[in-house]
Amino acid sequence: MIIYLIVMLGAFLISEFVVFSGRFKFKDWNIKEPKKELYVIFLTQIITCFLLVYWFAIAKQKVESSLVKIVLFSGRILFVFPVFFIIYFVGIKKYSLRQLGVLSFYNWYVSLPIIILIGGVTYLTFPESLQFNSILKQNGGSAFLVLGFLTAAIPEEITRVLIQSRLSRVLKDKSWGWFLASFLWALLHIPTFAKSSGDYIGATFSALGILPIGLLWGYLNERYKSIIPSVLIHGTNLWGLQNIF
């Protein structure tokens, strides 16, 4: 646990070193209607939580109805993945993807030393927690892209940056917005962690264990006004260091 937290602190320091060495200046988020947008985001997260709990806890039993299967599948595409957010924020609210931090590749390279730090420490101290080998053996190389980026990093970081930026504006406090957004993100993993064992207490502790690395990704999103660094680190985060909690 101590090593995990020290590595997270090291990642924060690397980020700050890059910022101050380059003397970068970043504009604040352009947010049109923070309260209204936050209500929409929270409503989608409630729907997402319901879908995840139903999918993992209830739908283990055979669902015969084709209509139920279609509704569940469509709901997961719309809400678990950020399809609804793209429709709402880009199609309806007329934000550009750059304004949402999605296509802002400025300073993407800050992710590289952080990836090396997390991967290197995990390999040297907890090699048994490395997840790369098991994923490659079971599912092949394509699983790395699917599990790492398409089903985790991209949708989760889009959701995080939307919640964090709007919550910070509504609360008028970036620190609380940062913490609460990542805390909510961690709690939303409880159904996923409990899907095999059904142990929701253990799943809650596991969710709290990923909070420090979630705070790192949220910090990078806010610091660079872009999700690209956090997506690259999140997508390659198959080291398993956070699993030692």
pTM of the model: 0.86
Q: Which two tokens stand for residue 140?
A: 């092949």
- Category of 113 on φ-ψ map: left (φ > 0), alpha (ψ -120 to 50) or beta: alpha
Which of 242, 71, 63 is CA-nearest to residue 152? Answer: 242
User: pLDDT tens track of the chain, all 245 residues?
Assistant: 788 888 889 999 998 888 777 666 678 899 999 999 999 999 998 888 888 777 766 655 565 567 777 887 888 888 888 899 999 999 999 999 999 999 888 788 899 999 999 888 888 887 766 666 666 666 655 666 666 788 889 999 999 999 999 999 999 999 999 999 999 999 888 877 877 667 888 888 888 888 999 999 999 999 999 999 999 998 887 666 666 55
Q: Which contacts of 100-104 are long-range, i.e. CB under 8 A and separated by 24 or more positions?
A: 100/158, 100/161, 100/162, 101/29, 101/161, 101/221, 101/225, 101/226, 101/227, 101/228, 102/158, 102/227, 104/224, 104/225, 104/226, 104/227, 104/228
Site of tokens 């929409």: 40
Q: Hey, CA dihedral for 157, 163, 169, 174, is it positive or negative? A: negative
| Distance of alpha carbon 60 from alpha carbon 56, whole angstroms | 6
3-state helix, strand, coil in the chain (%, to 5): 75, 0, 25
